[in-house]
Structure 1
Amino acid sequence: MMSGAIPDIRAIELEVRPLLVSGRYEEAEAIVRPYLASGTGPLVLWKLLAAALRPQGRIAETRVIQEMLVAHVPGDFPARFDLSETLLLSGEFERGWREYHYRYSLAHTAHIERKVQRPRWDGRAMPGKTLLIHDEQGYGDTFQFMRMVPWAKEKSGARVVLEINAESLSLVRRSAGFDEIVVRGTLPPAFDMHCEMMSLPMALGLRLHDLPGPIPYLSPDPQRVERWRQRLADLPRPLVALVWAGRPTHPNDANRSLSLGELAPLVQAGVSFVSIQKGPAATQAGSPPDGMRLLSLSDEIDDFEDTAAILSVTDLLVSVDSSPVHLAGALGRPVWVMLPKVPDWRWLLDRADTPWYPQMRLFRQDLRGDWSGVVSRMAAELARCRAR
């Protein structure tokens, strides 16, 4: 691994890292490759090479390097986390979930780890005891992994206390699998063991064929549904909800988001669109593509209860990879997801469906950064659906 003299590794890093940040992966690879041509070289250069290969979609090559890094330095937790995402992306759940635990060893995620003076639940039966399950990451993660709370209750035989973020609390109250629910930031009742929501797959031994489980597992508020049904009653059908950008602070946002103008090919006679886009990108709804009948609801949406009700009234959600996708899936609503060339691990590889949500279709980029093919295929499919 460490044989062979490498000139000024720090200089190579300083040259390559800006290329990775700016998405110039082929250039980064071209710089690093010669130093590793013999099959040996410093670990830091192998890490840079893996970081250049993965966004190009060269997953098998990336995995070989990641496996080598973990084998040589098992205490390199960021390398183990990188491997976990590659394993999960490849559908190798058993080992992938184990390695995914190392997410708490990263500089940008260490702050979210719950410091709990109780053991983490490992899937054992614990009748007569109390299990605390707590969410930990984004809203979409909460919606996606909520399905496993009833599974954990059944397997553990325990009394389950669910700790949830305030924004999702009222929606999650109507779901199943817990005996008590508390809001994150408050003191939970006494418990014997705990488990992060996204560690439930490891504790449960989740496999691909265990998915999706019962769908829907979240439900909208009937009063909100009626309110939004009346609000949208005059719009011609089909009624398509749109989300074209994710949270700007997300580390992968540049890779997953696009502009409203890029959705212009979706414009078709008789189709009505409603924007449920939040954040800075919502202002784009003020200047929709020519011919697009678009009603912006962004300023009228107060919380996820409103979003859930709108999704229950509309015919389809078209969205980038963001929390409304998981909310729609958990509600059992039809949703089309626009995915980058190399997506987040949960969407797997080379498939137009997902085991997580049976009502969901995936539209993937053929070329990195090119949304035109994705939108063109969606437009054609929308036309076919209307013709049926």
Structure 2
Amino acid sequence: MSAGQIDPAALAALERSAQNLLNAGRFDEAEALLAPSLASGTGPLRLWRLMAAALRPQGKLAGTRAIQEMLVANLPGDYPIRFDLAETLLLLGEFERGWREYRYRYSLAHTTQYERKVQMPRWEGQRLTGKTLLIHDEQGYGDTFQFMRMVPWAKARSGARVVLEVNAEALPLARRLGGYDELVVRGELPPAFDQHCEMMSLPMAMQLKLTDLPGQVPYLSADPQRVEHWRARLAHLPRPLVALVWAGRPTHGNDANRSMALARLAPFAATGASFVSIQKGPAEAQANEPPAGMSLLSLSDEIRDFEDTAAILEVADLLISVDSSPVHLAGALGRPVWVMLPFVPDWRWLLGRDDSPWYPSMKLYRQPQRGDWDSVTRALASDLKRLVAKTPRRATP
């Protein structure tokens, strides 16, 4: 029986088996299971969708992209497929089409809660002299910290009066950003406006290219009074002082792939650095039982908000973290940050490079193969030893 003649019962069974393998993270087995039915280059689109889901986590992005483009061509109204293609294109650094496809990020199971039903036109990059433009955040804190850099760019491009709306947690940092005319907190009624733009739609409106990055860095700053508080609080710790985050938000769809247990950072213990935990959420309790020999002070209970986090990052010599909001905050502050990335990372980290065009003060450490955090932590420990060797062992000034 040819690929195009799979009977309905056999097709349903094949789909179930492939989906079970994907759910179990057995991506190579899912690929092998699907391949015979798709070997001719034809076959049900449902199987091709599963094949793309099997290839991408293995880092087979050329094949993933080809399948996703075929699916978009055949199912242009299927927004989840278009969103998947957007993430692949952006990961490959193909910003022009990637940003266009990224506008389909709404109406998905995990993004419906973020969508704003705004009854005014979305800004598309044109001049708006004499008009008001509302720019509002939409997703996670890291997204807000990353794309706040574009607010002053949008004001310069549009010529408009810009109203910036952000979540309450980012509001104090936004006050020191500049590049807008009025600041409001999400949940309050904004003033009248003529057009609006989500913060993460600014790249599409302004046709952002890799060569436009990073712009002025730092573009966020810590509160000086908070900095002095944390400088005094941490004054007894020898340098270098390294802040740690080992787990992201558990509700994030990719959290199992990007987070780890503190125990995985055991190679850091022998480096001689002083560590502070700025981990928040369920994983913060792990700081009470650090790896043997690690000098770790947990600050989690003392951190009230991102103002505290920003101030700690100003005092610390370095942040080492998984892909989470503090890495964007550190990058936006221009502070040194080393990021531990999974084998196939989120699109914003691109591929095959140990630096980030978004943040000049950042270094990326990538898994050489899926799930291999040990190689990452060994590389970090080696670099950390070199940092310790050239840092005077003095307490915080």
Pairwise TM-score range, normalised by the shorter structure: over 0.9
Who is 1:372 aligned against? 374
Superposed CA RMSD in Å reads 1.1
2:202 to 193, 200, 203: 200
Secondary structure class of the residue paired with 2:214: coil
Deviation (angstroms), 1:269: 5.2
1:83 to 82, 85, 88: 85
2:137 to 135, 138, 142: 135
CA–CA separation in structure 2 for the residues paired with 1:385 and 1:236: 13
Who is 2:243 aligned against? 241
Query: What stretches of structure 1 of length at least 5 have no aligned partner?
Result: none
Tell whether 2:317 aligns with 1:302.
Answer: no
Who is 1:228 aligned against? 230
2:186 to 184, 187, 193: 184
Deviation (angstroms), 1:176: 1.4
CA–CA separation in structure 2 for the residues paired with 1:173 and 1:15: 52
CA–CA separation in structure 2 for the residues paired with 1:28 and 1:323: 32
**Equivalence map 1:67-146=2 (5 Å):** 67-146=69-148
Who is 1:165 aligned against? 167
CA–CA separation in structure 1 for the residues paired with 2:170 and 2:144: 8
Instruction: Note if contact 2:167-2:186 (Cα within 8 Å) is conserved in structure 1.
Output: yes
CA–CA separation in structure 1 for the residues paired with 2:367 and 2:319: 18
Decide which moves more: 134-143 or 107-116: 107-116
Instruction: Note if contact 1:311-1:328 (Cα within 8 Å) is conserved in structure 2.
Output: yes
After superposition, the C-alpha distances for 1:265-288 in whole angstroms (9 at most, x for unaligned) are 012353100000001100100100
CA–CA separation in structure 1 for the residues paired with 2:294 and 2:146: 31
Instruction: Note if contact 1:319-1:337 (Cα within 8 Å) is conserved in structure 2.
Output: yes
Deviation (angstroms), 1:386: 2.4
After superposition, the C-alpha distances for 1:145-192 in whole angstroms (9 at most, x for unaligned) are 000000000000000001100111111111011110111011000000
Instruction: Note if contact 2:3-2:37 (Cα within 8 Å) is conserved in structure 1.
Output: no
Who is 1:6 aligned against? 6
After superposition, the C-alpha distances for 1:45-64 in whole angstroms (9 at most, x for unaligned) are 00000000000000111011
CA–CA separation in structure 1 for the residues paired with 2:86 and 2:24: 24
Deviation (angstroms), 1:3: 6.7
CA–CA separation in structure 2 for the residues paired with 1:281 and 1:105: 31
Instruction: Note if contact 1:236-1:270 (Cα within 8 Å) is conserved in structure 2.
Output: no
CA–CA separation in structure 2 for the residues paired with 1:269 and 1:368: 26
CA–CA separation in structure 2 for the residues paired with 1:112 and 1:385: 41
Deviation (angstroms), 1:19: 1.6
Secondary structure class of the residue paired with 2:4: coil
- 2:354 alignment partner AA: A
CA spacing shift, 1:30–1:136, aligned 2, 3 Å: same
Instruction: Note if contact 2:3-2:38 (Cα within 8 Å) is conserved in structure 1.
Output: no
CA–CA separation in structure 2 for the residues paired with 1:48 and 1:157: 46
2:253 to 246, 251, 254: 251
1:331 to 317, 330, 333: 333
Deviation (angstroms), 1:108: 2.2
Instruction: Note if contact 2:121-2:195 (Cα within 8 Å) is conserved in structure 1.
Output: yes
Secondary structure class of the residue paired with 1:4: helix
- 1:4 alignment partner AA: G
- 1:277 alignment partner AA: Q
- 2:220 alignment partner AA: L
CA–CA separation in structure 2 for the residues paired with 1:386 and 1:297: 22
**Equivalence map 1:314-329=2 (5 Å):** 314-329=316-331
Who is 1:274 aligned against? 276
Secondary structure class of the residue paired with 1:267: helix
After superposition, the C-alpha distances for 1:102-132 in whole angstroms (9 at most, x for unaligned) are 0013122123111111000000000110000
Instruction: Note if contact 2:272-2:388 (Cα within 8 Å) is conserved in structure 1.
Output: no
CA–CA separation in structure 1 for the residues paired with 2:220 and 2:349: 21
Q: How many residues align?
A: 387
Deviation (angstroms), 1:16: 1.6
- 2:273 alignment partner AA: V
CA–CA separation in structure 2 for the residues paired with 1:321 and 1:65: 27
Who is 2:149 aligned against? 147
After superposition, the C-alpha distances for 1:2-37 in whole angstroms (9 at most, x for unaligned) are 971123322222212122122111111111111111
Query: What stretches of structure 2 of length at least 5 have no aligned partner?
Result: 391-397
Secondary structure class of the residue paired with 2:31: helix
How much identity, in percent, do the aligned residues show? 72
After superposition, the C-alpha distances for 1:227-257 in whole angstroms (9 at most, x for unaligned) are 0000000000000000000011111000000
CA–CA separation in structure 1 for the residues paired with 2:24 and 2:308: 37
- 1:370 alignment partner AA: D
Who is 2:25 aligned against? 23
Who is 2:59 aligned against? 57
CA–CA separation in structure 2 for the residues paired with 1:318 and 1:383: 14
Decide which moves more: 7-16 or 226-235: 7-16
Secondary structure class of the residue paired with 1:154: helix
CA–CA separation in structure 2 for the residues paired with 1:284 and 1:111: 31
1:39 to 20, 38, 41: 41
Secondary structure class of the residue paired with 1:53: helix
CA–CA separation in structure 1 for the residues paired with 2:295 and 2:210: 40
1:215 to 203, 206, 217: 217
CA–CA separation in structure 2 for the residues paired with 1:304 and 1:365: 28
CA–CA separation in structure 2 for the residues paired with 1:34 and 1:338: 36
CA–CA separation in structure 1 for the residues paired with 2:165 and 2:14: 46
TM-score (norm 2): 0.96
Secondary structure class of the residue paired with 2:263: helix
TM-score (norm 1): 0.98
Decide which moves more: 63-72 or 200-209: 63-72
Instruction: Note if contact 1:237-1:270 (Cα within 8 Å) is conserved in structure 2.
Output: no
Secondary structure class of the residue paired with 2:375: helix
